[in-house]
Amino acid sequence: MKRLMTQLLNLNGVIVEDSRQRDETLILSIRVANKKANCPRCKQTSYRLHQNRFHLVRDLPMGTYEVILRVNRRQFKCEYCKKPFSEILNFVGNRKRFTHRYAQMITEEVIHSDIHNVAKKNGLTDEEVWSMVMAIAEEIMPIPVEKLRRLGIDEISLVKGQGKFIVVWVDLETHKLVGLVPERKQPEIEKAMQKWGEEVLAKIKEEFHQIFEERKDLGTGTLELIDWLKKAEPYYKKSVKTIKRWLAEVVGYFERRTTNGIVEGINNKLKVLKRCGFGFRNFNNFEIRALLYWHFSDIS
């Protein structure tokens, strides 16, 4: 039975010692096969068990059963530092009450639905679901921009009729959202771009598309960018030259008055996300939620 349960659990290096059933829940007591752990301070291997520490974590369901793992996160004593330390378990984060793969499953459900419905379906609270989403989001953030070559910019209205806009960055090659800026104002855009660093800015060579849906904003948008360039010049030097070249394209874009299908598609999806739950009340949460939609598949 132990062997079968271990196979069914299918967690690398983990053995099921005992299983109990209570109503629709399976409680599996597990242990890690490995008898040693590495000290986080000196990296030395220790075999000296100091203390057993059990806690419960939620794992993937088995059939119709909800699965709770009784995990022993052992404490070892380091022979060199003479101090105790907790082992690192690759399937459950420190102080987390869910396995990594469970959080991944929940996050995937959230991507195709919304926090509240996923919570209800899985017998979790909204807060629990969100903490799982955050744990998975940590793996994709920050979104890598090293390969960014063609940047598209658009804006989307926060609340209809209030004239408040956020900025949307899009990678025109991968067709993915790169990030959001909470306000369409120079200091905010500046701050967001600074995060990318000089090297990245210098690498974005080919094109720079500033795409504002409303044509009346052409003037404002361009002026803001010119202002920003002046301010940024001492810090970026080379990059600013590159951006100045993009600027010509930006203006050219508006003159041609073409629309960009890629950015438009992303904007439409953002509008859908805005409607399901989070809205824009918490900008950071909304950005995480949006980035997950486009980058969740990057997690191996």
Q: What is the C-alpha R_g of the chain?
A: 25
Beta-carbon contacts of 36 under 8 Å, excluding residues fewer than 6 positions away, are 45, 46, 47, 76
Answer for which of 8, 15, 27, 42 binds Zn ion (CB under 5 A) is: 42
Report if residue 30 touches Zn ion, rule: CB under 5 A.
no
Could you tell me which stretch among 11-19, 42-50, 172-180, 212-220 binds Zn ion (CB under 5 A)? 42-50
At its nearest, how many Å lie between Zn ion and the CB of residue 49? 15
Give the C-alpha separation, 205 to 239, whole Å.
Answer: 9
Q: Which is nearer to Zn ion, 65 or 80 (CB)?
A: 80
Q: Please tell me the number of Cα atoms within 13 Å of 221 on its side-chain side.
A: 21
Answer for which of 47, 54, 65, 80 binds Zn ion (CB under 5 A) is: 80
> Which is it for strands 14-22 and 25-32: parallel, antiparallel or unpaired?
antiparallel
Query: Taking CB under 5 A as the rule, which mask of x and - marks residues 174-213 in contact with Zn ion?
Result: ----------------------------------------
Report if residue 47 touches Zn ion, rule: CB under 5 A.
no
At its nearest, how many Å lie between Zn ion and the CB of residue 93? 22
Could you tell me which stretch among 77-85, 87-95, 162-170, 281-289 binds Zn ion (CB under 5 A)? 77-85
Q: Which is nearer to Zn ion, 41 or 164 (CB)?
A: 41
Q: Which is nearer to Zn ion, 34 or 282 (CB)?
A: 34
Q: Where would I find the H helices in the chain?
A: 2-9, 100-112, 115-122, 126-140, 186-194, 197-203, 218-236, 238-256, 261-275, 283-295
> What are residue 212's phi and psi, to 5 degrees?
-105, 130
Instruction: Name beta bridge partners: 76.
Output: 49, 85
> Which is it for strands 84-86 and 150-157: parallel, antiparallel or unpaired?
unpaired
Report if residue 41 touches Zn ion, rule: CB under 5 A.
yes
CA nearest 58: which of 15, 23, 103, 10?
103
**Binding-residue total with Zn ion (CB under 5 A):** 6
The DSSP-derived string for 8-65 is HH--TTEEEEEEEEETTEEEEEEEES---EE-TTT--EE--EEE--EEEEEEEEETTE
Residue identified by tokens 């010509």 is 248
- What crossing angle do the helices spanning 261-275 and 283-295 adopt, rounded to 10°? 120
Could you tell me which stretch among 9-17, 35-43, 195-203, 218-226 binds Zn ion (CB under 5 A)? 35-43
Question: In the chain, what is the greatest distance between 2 CA atoms, to the nearest angstrom?
Answer: 72
Answer for which of 9, 14, 32, 39 binds Zn ion (CB under 5 A) is: 39
Could you tell me which stretch among 76-84, 103-111, 181-189, 255-263 binds Zn ion (CB under 5 A)? 76-84
Of residues 115 through 134, those in contact with Zn ion by CB under 5 A are none
Could you tell me which stretch among 10-18, 79-87, 109-117, 259-267 binds Zn ion (CB under 5 A)? 79-87
Q: Which is nearer to Zn ion, 61 or 84 (CB)?
A: 84
Of residues 221 through 280, those in contact with Zn ion by CB under 5 A are none
At its nearest, how many Å lie between Zn ion and the CB of residue 82? 8
Q: Which is nearer to Zn ion, 45 or 297 (CB)?
A: 45
Q: Which positions lie near Zn ion, rule CB under 5 A?
A: 39, 41-42, 78, 80-81
